[in-house]
Chain A
Amino acid sequence: MICTGCSCLCDDIVVDGGVRNACRRGAGIFRFVNEGRAKPMINGEVVDFEKAMDAAGDIIGNSEKLAVYGLDTTTVEAQQKAIELAKTKEAYIDDNSSFCLGDFVELILKEELPTTTLDEVRNNAYVVFYWGTDVYHSLSRHMSRFTYYPRGGKRQRGYEEDRFLVVVDVRRSHTAKLAKKNARFIEVGDDLELIDAILKVLDGKAPEKFAKDAVRIVKEMQKADFNVIIGGLGLKYGLKGDYQQFLEFVRRVNEVTNLYFIPAGCHPNMRGFNQLLFEKTGHVNRYSFRDEEAGEKFAFPKLLEDGEIDAALIVGTDPVNSLPFDIAKKLKDIKTILIDPRQSLTAEIADVVLPSAISGLETGGTMIRIDGVKVELAPFLEKKPDDVSIISSLLEAV
């Protein structure tokens, strides 16, 4: 079984009365598969599914400025249909990556940031950075399956001798607490200061801050020909939009050894959406089919903030829970259709709720792991309708 709890897409889950091998998050998805499920609703009233579908069709049909948003927890096949729908309606389309790790994925897809797969990391990586991410909580099996603890390929002696872990964070997270043997925890206030310190060491200069850490890290990286940064939201927001400084840092390190980057994205199929949209438009998110271009002004939160849309089709995400309140409250100014397996907080305010099957557990399809590896899902239950059939029906209706 594949677990679709996060972007690791663990493929060794066994469900046999209990749930084996899964992390806390993954096990929860299986154990609570029947809890908190959404019901078809119109304006908070439970209705027949068909009636809710008709209402959703009407909203989309009548919308002149539609946004399609979310899609990071559904399959590539459903994302494909959603992109088709957005194109047909000349709508905007965006996912959570526009305020998550989409910038890094775009740099990877444009080949401006060297990347690798998690399997290559398991077999080859020596220095493993976790930068601005507490994977102990967000990607709980990342360290044991792919990076620090496992033995593999050139790294047969595992973390005891064959890995060097660097955790960079603003606090001593649970991941940072694991940085004991062959490891460094670096507490930063400003991530750019650490980048600057490492660049100074590469220039043969003594940095004012992080001198000891920066020297050690460069020395350790030079011991191997394969090192990797797993970068999370802490790094994204720590860079304050200065990706050039980060790219320069990676480029300079790559003059003396090999350093790769993999985003620490949480959503199981964010990479799938980014990659699919990139193949079709040359952009990973924030795209307007009306304008045939991408940009910050087409990010879903910005469209809401600026009052640029009259309706939204939200798929498998919960903006009431995840967007800043000033933006989330604008959802009440537009018509909203929510497709989601669970009764989320957004379901509480949506005009129409369409319950769907849980991707990977109740319906099959494809997802793309955060490192770009394609994964075929193997559902253990069957439930209809799924996201593909719902979005296809809406597409037919318009």
Chain B
Amino acid sequence: MGLKFAKFIRKIETEVVVARDSFQVEAADRGKLSEEFVKKSAVLYITEEFGKKNALREGEIVKVTRGGRSVNLRVVYNDTAPSEGAMMPNSIYANYLTDFDSFKRFRVTIEIADGNVTTPSEIIELIKSG
């Protein structure tokens, strides 16, 4: 097993663009708590070049943070992501991080995380608990 030294030093600050994804919208019709919807929504799209430059490998779980709030997302390489930055599908995950002052583009920090992606139920519980 390789040592994950980078885990302790990698913290990238970058811009995220929120975009539509027809695959994710299609999954929404099967239910927004469905495995398929989570798989298509709890993702951080980056280009392979950006990933290599910042040592972010496809499939890794990353903690994406803005304004003291974080979600865990899976890194997916996608050549339509911004060349310097990342892209998230429009969903409860993006909206957990955003506000109306920077609704579709905002700055985040990204760091490697352990565990799984955040589920919509975890965010809903935060709403329920006030």
Contact = CB atoms under 8 A, between A and B. Distances in A.
Contacts of B25: 25, 28, 137
Contacts of B92: 320-321, 345
Given A140-B22, A323-B95, A328 B32 contact: no
B81 A171 contact: yes
A36 interface: yes
B79 A137 contact: no
B120 A266 contact: no
Contact of A29 (B29, B34, B103): B29
A172 B31 CA distance: 30
Given A138-B20, A342-B31, A171 B82 contact: yes
Interface in B26-72: 26, 29-34, 69
Contacts of A348: 33, 121, 124
Interface string B70-105: 000000000111110101001110011111100111
A94 interface: no
B22 A342 contact: no
B95 A324 contact: yes
A171 B80 contact: yes
Interface in A203-233: 233
A99 B102 CA distance: 12
Contacts of A140: 22
A344 B127 CA distance: 15
B104 A233 contact: yes
A106 interface: no
A93 interface: no
Interface string A258-298: 00000000100000000000000000000000000000000
Contacts of A171: 17, 19, 80-83, 85, 87
Given A137-B20, A301-B100, A172 B33 contact: no
B4 interface: no
Interface string A310-348: 000000001011111111110110000000001111001
A173 interface: yes
A181 interface: no
Contact of B31 (A35, A301, A329): A35
Interface string B1-23: 00000000000000001011111
A25 B19 contact: no
B19 A173 contact: yes
Interface in A143-192: 170-174, 176-177
A325 B30 CA distance: 23
A27 B30 CA distance: 12
A60 interface: no
A385 interface: no
**Most-contacted residue by chain A among B31, B34, B91 (CB, 10 A):** B31
Contacts of A32: 29-30
Given A173-B19, A345-B92, A320 B98 contact: no
A237 interface: yes
B32 A344 contact: yes
A66 to B, nearest CB: 21
B8 to A, nearest CB: 29
B71 to A, nearest CB: 10
B130 A325 contact: no
Which of B81, B103, B121 has the most A CB atoms < 10 Å from its CB? B103
Contacts of B34: 36
A272 to B, nearest CB: 20
A386 interface: no
A297 B98 CA distance: 20
Contact of B22 (A23, A320, A343): A23
Interface in A1-30: 23-25, 27-29
A125 interface: no
Nearest to A326: B99
The 8 closest A-B pairs by CB, nearest first: A36-B31, A28-B26, A138-B20, A171-B82, A137-B22, A32-B29, A137-B20, A325-B96
Given A171-B81, A325-B96, A349-B128, 17 more contacts: A24-B22, A24-B23, A35-B29, A36-B29, A36-B32, A134-B19, A138-B22, A170-B82, A171-B83, A174-B80, A177-B80, A323-B95, A324-B103, A328-B95, A329-B130, A342-B31, A348-B33
9 contacts: A29-B29, A35-B29, A134-B19, A134-B20, A138-B22, A140-B22, A173-B19, A174-B80, A177-B80
